[in-house]
Amino acid sequence: MSMSAPVTTAQEWDKVRKSFATSIMVDTSLSSLAQNLEGADWPIKSKEDTPAKYIDLSYEETVDMLALKGLPATALDQLTSILRETLAFDQPFGDMVTQVESSSAKDNTLLKNLGRLGIPETFPIDFTALDSDTREFCHMEKLNTLGEFAVFAQSMSQSVIVGGDFRTLLNALSQSDENTLGRFLPIRAGAKGLHLPEALALGLRKLPKPVLYALAEKAGARLSASQTQEAHTCSRQAIASAESELRLRSSRLVADLFKPQLSELQTQVWNGAPLDRFITPIGDPLAEAIVSSQLTPYLQRKAEGSARKPGFWARLFGRR
């Protein structure tokens, strides 16, 4: 073999380039990827020189492309190495995903801890209180539920370093740390499962303080002087936008995830149980007031609708 020929074979190049086709790094410059890997610099510094420029090319086409850019054929070895090592971080399952997935689900400590806590694996990531970066990462990796998160997390390569809310949730699930899990999931201390009031309260955590105070004041909560002052700096448009988002969130939670809990809550409230009993475990008076205002319409609509069924002509003309 000539000294100027790449060590990488055509089969190796095809395997790497096809694997990289679904990578979130496909449009990142090769120069940046090389720097992140702390290896030799990629000779082309342009931001436009990305994996996307090469992964659709065959072995021979790639060598020709490198030659057109003034690089020797052996640059294919470095290109292949950059893509392969990036995949180790970007896709922790690598080529073993098919074999690992079933065994991971079977022996997954995180899934077992979810089961012990009564937390359904199907709970959507979108309804957690994970920060936006972590949720975006989960979306890119197609992790839509807690169960998928658990399988992915436990099967990650040990060399992959994760931080932020991803690591915090991972550690909390590993240790069944209910206090920390309560930052991200609608759980209740001392009780198994997920709970509707806490799920509604999680949606309030990302609101700016003036908006939160304004909504709490509108819901009848008592505010301090400083909180009242901040609430009054909030525009009507900001309040209306927040209310609209919260209504959408609550309707999805009730319709998709907590319908049985709502039905049970309706029964107990209609039988005389105070709504506050189900709200106070949230532990935040402002959030409790807002959540109460979110739940009240669901309770009232059913109660009013069941008081007296309209007759045929009333239903036809919209009269009660």
Over the stretch 277-304, which tens digit does the pLDDT of each residue have? 999 999 999 999 999 999 999 887 544 4
Please state, in angstroms and rounded to a whole number, the distance separating the CA atoms of residues 204 and 212. 7
Q: Do 87 and 19 contact (CB within 8 A), yes or no?
A: yes
Q: Check whether residue 17 and residue 99 sit in a common domain.
A: no
Q: If you average pLDDT over every residue of the chain, what do you get?
A: 84
Q: Check whether residue 108 and residue 171 sit in a common domain.
A: yes
Give the lowest-confidence range in 12-16, 22-26, 308-312: 308-312
Residue 315 lies in a domain: no
Contacts of 285 (CB under 8 A, 6+ apart): 221, 222
CA angle 25, 166, 252 (to 5 degrees): 95
Find the Cα–Cα–Cα–Cα dihedral 49, 53, 59, 63, rounded to 10°. Answer: -40
Taking residue 282's Cβ as centre, other Cβ atoms within 10 Å add up to 23
Q: Check whether residue 69 and residue 148 sit in a common domain.
A: no
* Block residue for tokens 């205002």: 293
pLDDT digits (tens, 9 = 90+) for 234-250: 999 999 999 999 999 99
Residue 271 lies in a domain: yes
Q: Check whether residue 134 and residue 119 sit in a common domain.
A: yes
Q: What are the percentages of helix, strand and coil residues in the chain, rounded to 5?
A: 60, 0, 35
Q: Check whether residue 222 and residue 274 sit in a common domain.
A: yes
pLDDT at 89: 63
Q: Average pLDDT of 96-100?
A: 40
Residue 138 structure tokens: 């989960």
Residue 265 lies in a domain: yes
Q: Check whether residue 234 and residue 296 sit in a common domain.
A: yes
Range of the domain at 15: 10-90
pLDDT at 65: 92
Please state, in angstroms and rounded to a whole number, the distance separating the CA atoms of residues 139 and 187. 23
Q: Check whether residue 205 and residue 165 sit in a common domain.
A: no
Residue 75 lies in a domain: yes
Q: Where are the alpha helices (DSSP H) in 157-235?
A: 164-175, 178-181, 196-202, 209-218, 225-231
Contacts of 230 (CB under 8 A, 6+ apart): 209, 210, 213
Q: How many domains does the chain have?
A: 3
Q: Do 193 and 281 contact (CB within 8 A), yes or no?
A: no
Taking residue 25's Cβ as centre, other Cβ atoms within 10 Å add up to 21
Is residue 311 over pLDDT 70? no
Beta-bridged to residue 145, according to DSSP, are 124
Instruction: Indicate the residue among 121, 153, 181 that finishes a domain.
Output: 181
Q: Check whether residue 102 and residue 85 sit in a common domain.
A: no
DSSP state of 7: S
Side chain identity at 226, as an amino acid letter?
S
Beta-bridged to residue 124, according to DSSP, are 145
pTM of the predicted model as reported, rounded to 2 decimal places: 0.62
Residue 292 lies in a domain: yes
Q: Do 164 and 131 contact (CB within 8 A), yes or no?
A: yes
Which residue in 227, 300, 203, 248 sits closest to 218, CA to CA? 227
Residue 253 structure tokens: 């939670």
Instruction: Indicate the residue among 181, 214, 242 that finishes a domain.
Output: 181
Q: Check whether residue 240 and residue 275 sit in a common domain.
A: yes
Q: Check whether residue 298 and residue 258 sit in a common domain.
A: yes
Q: Check whether residue 210 and residue 301 sit in a common domain.
A: yes
Q: Do 144 and 124 contact (CB within 8 A), yes or no?
A: yes
pLDDT at 287: 96
Residue 313 lies in a domain: no
User: Which one has a higher pLDDT value, 63 or 162?
Assistant: 63
* Block residue for tokens 């319409």: 297
Q: Check whether residue 125 and residue 209 sit in a common domain.
A: no
Instruction: Indicate the residue among 68, 90, 112 that finishes a domain.
Output: 90
* pLDDT band (50, 70, 90) for residue 306: very low
pLDDT at 250: 93
Residue 269 lies in a domain: yes
Residue 106 structure tokens: 């079977």
Residue 320 lies in a domain: no
